[in-house]
């Protein structure tokens, strides 16, 4: 159903704006995504927002019209409003012309199908939403199945993480678990756990990687705890030839993912092509 909202004090505006806060996203089970490209990619994957907000007063882009029709056909709400209100909801002065409100996409760890992709990311205590969003985008690029968040990580459904994912939030499975829960689940089936660390001399290109490969990326400031490194099947080091002693967490994830992907391409052992998560 289409309608128009023009007041900042409207309860729905306040509710959607509150989704910028983690505790309220968790309570509502909803998150925000912005922009025609991201919302269109989600629609093409069969994922529609429960509500869509658009700037009023202009003819919508043909892709926006298709999105409006799809949301209305699915029984969702289409709300036209002012650019200022869109900015308040997104937290940006130059807000995108479309904002979608989506049901969150967290998958319980026991429901995760490790066989559906040859590469998975495991992010341990990752704190930066840009890093997590970029890691999801890298996962999409290499055909990974998704990201398993271990311990206290940044919220993958924050506006900043969703924005940095460039739509990969809709292609990557997202799960969350404690370290003990994750390790018990991993050891109950096939899976090679690969950690990156400065505490090894093994070059990252030396081992043979076997799918499903779980790439363990540590906290941006502290890296992996010693006990987590000890639990890895492989511990490898990315060479650092300059003054820096480490790479940005998402960059390190990209280097590792493409090394694994290139090895699997050479051996032809790439597993099943990942499908968009339910």
Q: List the domain boundaries for the chain.
A: 2-103, 109-267
Predicted local confidence at residue 68, as pLDDT: 93
The residue ranking higher by pLDDT, 151 or 87, is 151
Name the pLDDT band for 57 (thresholds 50, 70, 90): confident
Name the pLDDT band for 56 (thresholds 50, 70, 90): confident
Predicted local confidence at residue 276, as pLDDT: 56
Displacement of CA 170 from its chain's centroid (Å): 8
Residue 93 pLDDT > 80, yes or no? no
Question: How many C-beta neighbours within 10 Å does residue 29 have?
Answer: 11
Record the pTM.
0.89
Residue 38 pLDDT > 90, yes or no? yes
Q: Each residue of 161-185: pLDDT tens digit?
A: 999 999 999 999 999 999 999 999 9
Name the pLDDT band for 58 (thresholds 50, 70, 90): low
Residue 51 pLDDT > 70, yes or no? yes
Per CATH, 2-103 and 109-267 having the same topology is answered no
In whole numbers, what is the pLDDT of the chain averaged over residues? 91
Sign of CA dihedral 19, 23, 25, 27: negative
Least confident of 134-138, 200-204, 225-229, 267-271: 267-271
CATH fold for the domain made of 2-103: 60s Ribosomal Protein L30; Chain: A; (3.30.1330)
Q: How far is it, in rounded angstroms, from Cα 48 to Cα 39?
A: 8
> By C-alpha distance, which of 41, 34, 131 is closest to 92?
34
Name the pLDDT band for 96 (thresholds 50, 70, 90): low
The domain over range 109-267 is classified in CATH as 3.40.50.1820 = no
């Amino acid at each position: 159903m289409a309608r128009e909202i023009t007041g900042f004090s409207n309860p729905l505006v306040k509710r959607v704006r509150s989704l910028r806060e983690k505790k309220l996203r968790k309570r509502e089970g909803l998150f925000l995504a912005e922009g025609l490209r991201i919302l269109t990619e989600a629609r093409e994957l069969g994922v529609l927002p429960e509500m869509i907000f658009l700037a009023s007063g202009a003819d919508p882009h043909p892709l926006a019209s298709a999105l409006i029709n799809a949301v209305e056909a699915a029984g969702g709400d289409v709300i036209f409003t002012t650019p200022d209100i869109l900015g308040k909801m997104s937290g940006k002065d130059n807000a995108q012309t479309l904002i979608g409100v989506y049901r969150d996409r967290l998958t319980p760890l026991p429901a995760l199908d490790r066989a559906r992709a040859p590469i998975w990311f495991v992010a341990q205590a990752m704190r930066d939403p840009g890093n997590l969003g970029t890691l999801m985008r890298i996962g999409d690029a290499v055909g990974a199945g998704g990201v398993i968040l271990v311990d206290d990580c940044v919220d993958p459904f924050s506006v900043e993480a969703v924005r940095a994912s460039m739509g990969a939030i809709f292609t990557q499975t997202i799960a969350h678990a404690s370290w003990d829960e994750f390790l018990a689940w991993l050891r109950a089936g096939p899976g090679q756990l690969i950690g990156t660390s400065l505490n090894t001399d093994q070059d990252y290109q030396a081992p043979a990687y076997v799918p499903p490969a779980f790439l363990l990326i540590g906290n941006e400031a502290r890296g992996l705890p010693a006990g987590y490194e000890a639990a890895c099947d492989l511990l490898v080091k990315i060479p650092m030839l300059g003054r820096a002693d480490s790479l940005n967490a998402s960059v390190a994830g990209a280097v590792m993912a493409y090394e694994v992907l290139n090895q699997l391409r050479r051996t032809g052992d790439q597993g099943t092509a990942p499908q968009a998560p339910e």
